[in-house]
Amino acid sequence: MFMDILAGILVLFLTFVYIHNKKDPKKLFEVYSQPGKWYFLKYPLFLMLLVLRRLRYYVNGKKLYNEAELDKRQPLSEHPLAFDAIFFHAISQDGIFLAAGAERRHANIINGLLYIKHPDLGLLKSLKLPETRLAEAPEGADTDKEWAIEGGPRYIVLEPMKKWKMSYNGKMRVHGSEELVDIEFDAEWFSEMPWFFYDVDLPAKMLARSVARETWSKELFENLKEAHQVHYEQMGYLNGTIKANGKILPLKLDAFRDHSYGRKRDWNLMHRYIFQMLYLENQCRLILGLVSQPCTASHYEMGYVVLPNGKIDAIEECDLKLWQHGESGNPSEELGFVVVAGKHTYECKVQYETTVAHYVGNNVQVKMYERFGTCEVNGIHGKVIAEWNYSNTNGKFKLDQYHC
């Protein structure tokens, strides 16, 4: 009996020595961490911590959260990089695309943009693009329900998690020319669909995999805490009109929105990311994000599928690797990938038809490529809006593609 215990201890000791002396794999492109020698222990440990932290949510669900308090204009923290951001996407299967957003900062700054792509109008964009640093309109600052850009779009919460109003009255520029178009845009975003809260709805194993791949240190966990932000997304619909040079065009679109806020958002920490929203003809929708923020995790995978009945299945497996597409700074023109969600496999093909660029973070820190195109998932056709983000300051990318 004693010898058996001694032999077991010796085996464990020798195993520890063997693993300890192994070398961790090198980071791909000096950025992307790969599972190391202690991954087999770090993954279950971090997974357990996440599950324990989420126990209250698993028992009580979203009734733990006050929707009216979440879905409003948030007070900015004392940090100079505090933020409160909203974003909207919308499409129709006959080729209408909309992308709009507003990121509030201190000193009455809003990083804002508006793109409208319509078969009758071409691609229209807000006048200041590719610059996005704009001023907040005074009327927006006096309420907790409005994001308003001076001389630009307004976004108003009408009913939390249910209904928003979007409007703009002014000029937009036709992409690739100096032609200006007089626009009156008036629409309502509405939804009865559930919202996806990344803090608790993102599968714990997806986040655990991302963190377990990294080298653990006190600095890593401090960075995770410091960089945390509240982020939720919701699918819905957008109805309204565009009046362009006196001609009224109706809008009836499938739509998406998100809301993010936190103590700080530092664009300098971001290496790159790809977010894409696929809207299918059968009303299924698929959202996939790949994010590289090396100070916290060099390769996050996140997303979900919204079924035609509104049910959400979180993505649990994804074979799309960020470093395999556009790592030089030249975004790929098409993608093919497979994801697994709700025990279903989704084979996805994406082809981008139009790409435009703008800057975020004092107009220098990040270059964004807004992309519009077509997709196919398990043989069902649809449309896609994607955002490819690259650091414009780390010197790793050649970012002279696409006309701004």
Read off the amino acid at residue 270: M
Give yes or no for a contact between 355 and 369, defined as CB atoms under 8 angstroms apart. Answer: yes
Distance, CA of 384 to CA of 391 (rounded, Å): 23
Residue 291: exposure state from Cβ atoms within 10 A (0-12, 13-18, ≥19): buried
Residue 32 within a domain: no
pLDDT, tens digit, 9 for 90 and up, residues 14-66: 445 545 556 779 999 999 999 999 999 999 999 999 999 999 888 888 888 99
Q: Indicate the pTM of the whole model.
A: 0.93
Give the range of the structural domain holding residue 178, as residue numbers without chain letter.
41-391
Residue 373 within a domain: yes
Read off the amino acid at residue 297: A
Residue 19 within a domain: no
Distance, CA of 377 to CA of 286 (rounded, Å): 9
Predicted confidence band of residue 232 (pLDDT cuts 50, 70, 90): very high
Residue 4 within a domain: no
pLDDT, tens digit, 9 for 90 and up, residues 53-68: 999 888 888 888 999 9
Residue 362 within a domain: yes
Residue 34 within a domain: no
CATH number of the domain where residue 156 is located? 2.40.370.10
- Alpha-carbon distances, residue 13 vs 5, 19, 71, 277, 332 (angstroms): 12, 10, 53, 49, 48
Return the closest-CA partner of residue 251 out of 386, 117, 87, 102. Answer: 117
pLDDT, tens digit, 9 for 90 and up, residues 69-125: 999 999 999 999 999 999 999 999 999 999 999 999 999 999 999 999 999 999 999
pLDDT, tens digit, 9 for 90 and up, residues 194-211: 999 999 999 999 999 999
Residue 274 within a domain: yes
Is the pLDDT reported for residue 178 higher than 60?
A: yes
Segment 252-272 mean pLDDT: 96
Q: Go through 53-85 and write b for each residue having 16 or more CB atoms within 10 A of its CB, e for each that does not.
A: eeeebeeeeeeebeeeebbbbbebeeeebbbbb
Segment 353-381 mean pLDDT: 94
Number of domains making up the chain = 1
pLDDT, tens digit, 9 for 90 and up, residues 288-341: 999 999 999 999 999 999 999 999 999 999 999 999 999 999 999 999 999 999
Residue 35 within a domain: no
Distance, CA of 15 to CA of 161 (rounded, Å): 53
DSSP assignment string, 108-122: TEEEEEEEEEETTTE
Strand bridging mode 180-190 / 163-174: antiparallel
Return the closest-CA partner of residue 118 out of 145, 141, 99, 142. Answer: 99
pLDDT, tens digit, 9 for 90 and up, residues 328-366: 999 999 999 999 999 999 999 999 999 999 999 888 899
